[in-house]
Amino acid sequence: MEINKRKRILVTGGSGFIGTNFIRHTLHVKPDWDIVNLDSLTYAGNPHNFQDLKSDQSGRLHFVLGDVRNENLLSQLFSQNNFDSVVHFAAESHVDRSILGPKVFLETNVNGTFALLGESLRSWEDRKRPNDFRFLHVSTDEVYGSLGPHGYFTEETPYNPSSPYSASKAASDHFVKAYFHTYNLPAIITNCSNNYGPFQFPEKLLPLMILNIIEQKPLPIYGDGKNIRDWLFVLDHCEAILQVIERGVPGNTYNIGGNSERQNIDIVHLLCDLLDKRLGRSGKDTSRRLIRFVSDRPGHDRRYAIDATKIERELGWSPQFKFEEAINITLDWYLGNMAWVKSVRSGEYRKWIEDNYEDRENLSI
C-alpha cells in the first residue's frame, strides 16, 4: 500500500487576509500538509489570526517572522525545509495606499517576488528538479487594466496596469513568467478578482463599509459609485488555489473570478439594508443616509470582469458560494468578531483613514 508523503508548503504573507483564509482552509482539508508561514507583519498582517486553531492544526503551522526580500533568510528556510511548493501571497495590496506611497509597492511586490523566485529556483535545482514542485504566484485581475461596459479578461488579455499597485503586480508576474521560460521553474500564476470575506483589513471597500455602517459613520463612495468589480468569496479563491497547486500546468495562468459583477453603489446599498435588518434600524435611522459621494480615486479603473472558463474547463473549479449567501457569512463574521476589528484598528489605521479621506470633499456627516 502506498502511503501519502507529507507535504511541506511555504506560504508567504499568510497573516494577511487571503493568506489567513488559505492557511486555515488548507490545514482543515489537507491533514497531511505542513505549512510554514513567512510574514513580516506589516500593518496588514495579524499574528492573532490563528490563535483559535485546535492543536492538531496549529501543530502543523509554523510561523517565521521575516521579510520576503531577505535572501539570507530565504536561503536558510529553503535549506532547512525542502519545500514541496510555494504559495506567494506577500504583497502590498491596497490601490489607494499605492497612490499615496508607491515605492514600497515596487520594493515588496517586485523585489520580494524576485528574491523568492531566485531562492525557489536554487532549491529546486539543488534537489534535482522534483517534478511536482510548484511556485504559485497569487496575482490580480488589475494587471489587465480597465474594461468598458462589455467584455471580460481572459488569460490572453494584454497587460495594461493603471495604478502603482497593479503596475507592481504586473512586473512581478512578468518575472514569474520569465523564470518559467528561461529556467523551467514550474511556476503558475493565478489572476483573481476582488476577494471578500472574514479577516479582510478594513481599508478595502467591503469591510470599511460594513464597519462604518455598524458604527454609523459616513460611507465614502468614490466618484459616481458606478465602477464595477467582480466579487469572489475568499473561500472559493482558496479552493481554486489548492486545485491549481495540485493539477495546474506549469507555465500557465489561470483567471479566477466569482461571476458576480456589481457596481460599488449597489453593494453599499445591499450592505446598508442587510445590516439595518440585523440591527433593527428603520425609518430615519436607515444607513443609506450615511452615503457620501466623494472625490474620485485618481486613475480609477471603471470595470473589471473575469472570464474563468479555463480553470473551470481544465481543472473543474467553479465558485460554490452565491454572492448574497457569502455576503451574509461575511457580515456575521464581522458582527461576531468586533474584538478582532478593534485589535487591527491601531494608531497606524487611524492615520491611514485621516491621510486617505480627510481631503476628500463632502465627507462630513
Parallel, antiparallel or unpaired: strands 228-233 and 187-192? unpaired
Position 330: which residue type? Answer: T
Question: Residue 361 catalytic?
Answer: no
Report how far residue 174's alpha carbon sits from residue 25's, in angstroms, rounded to the nearest whole number.
29
Binding status of residue 197 toward ligand NAD by CB under 6 A: no
Residue 221 or 244: the one with the smaller Cβ distance to ligand TYD is: 221
Binding status of residue 69 toward ligand NAD by CB under 6 A: yes
Residue 78 site contact among ligand NAD, ligand TYD, none (CB < 5 to 8 Å, cut-off depends on kind): none
Residue 205 site contact among ligand NAD, ligand TYD, none (CB < 5 to 8 Å, cut-off depends on kind): ligand TYD
Q: With CB under 6 A, what is the number of residues at the site for ligand NAD?
A: 29
**From the candidates 39, 67, 84, 141, which is the catalytic residue?**
141
Residue 70 or 184: the one with the smaller Cβ distance to ligand NAD is: 70
Question: Residue 96 catalytic?
Answer: no
Residue 21 or 123: the one with the smaller Cβ distance to ligand NAD is: 21
Kindly identify the residues of this chain, within the stretch 121-140, that bind ligand NAD according to CB under 6 A.
138, 140
Query: Which of 39, 84, 230, 301 touches ligand NAD (CB under 6 A)?
Result: 39
Binding status of residue 27 toward ligand TYD by CB under 6 A: no
Closest approach of Cβ 63 to ligand TYD, in Å?
27
Cell of 351: 492615520
Residue 136 or 208: the one with the smaller Cβ distance to ligand TYD is: 208
Q: How far is CA 181 from the centre of its chain?
A: 26
Binding status of residue 205 toward ligand TYD by CB under 6 A: yes
Closest approach of Cβ 171 to ligand TYD, in Å?
17
Kindly identify the residues of this chain, within the stretch 287-306, that bind ligand TYD according to CB under 6 A.
297
Query: Which of 7, 42, 102, 335 touches ligand NAD (CB under 6 A)?
Result: 42
36 within 8 A of 8, measured Cβ to Cβ: yes
Residue 90 site contact among ligand TYD, ligand NAD, none (CB < 5 to 8 Å, cut-off depends on kind): ligand NAD
Residue 62 or 289: the one with the smaller Cβ distance to ligand TYD is: 289
Residue 306 site contact among ligand NAD, ligand TYD, none (CB < 5 to 8 Å, cut-off depends on kind): none
Question: Residue 304 catalytic?
Answer: no
Residue 75 or 162: the one with the smaller Cβ distance to ligand TYD is: 162
Closest approach of Cβ 329 to ligand TYD, in Å?
18
Query: Which of 11, 36, 90, 185 touches ligand NAD (CB under 6 A)?
Result: 90
HEC states along the chain?
A: CCCCCCEEEEEECCCCHHHHHHHHHHHHHCCCEEEEEEECCCCCCCHHHHCCCCHHHHCCEEEEECCCCCHHHHHHHHHHHCCCEEEECCCCCCHHHHHHCCHHHHHHHHHHHHHHHHHHHHHHHHCCCCCCCEEEEEEEHHHHCCCCCCCCECCCCCCCCCCHHHHHHHHHHHHHHHHHHHHCCCEEEEEECEEECCCCCCCCHHHHHHHHHHCCCCEEEECCCCCEEEEEEHHHHHHHHHHHHHHCCCCCEEEECCCCEEEHHHHHHHHHHHHHHHHCCCHHHCHHHHEEEECCCCCCCCECCECCHHHHHHHCCCCCCCHHHHHHHHHHHHHHCHHHHHHHCCHHHHHHHHHHHCCCCCCCC
Report how far residue 43's alpha carbon sits from residue 337's, in angstroms, rounded to the nearest whole number.
18
Query: Which of 41, 178, 211, 265 touches ligand NAD (CB under 6 A)?
Result: 41
Query: Interface residues with ligand TYD (CB under 6 A)?
Result: 95, 194, 204-205, 208, 220-222, 227, 229, 264, 297
Q: Which active-site residues does the annotation give?
A: 141-142, 165
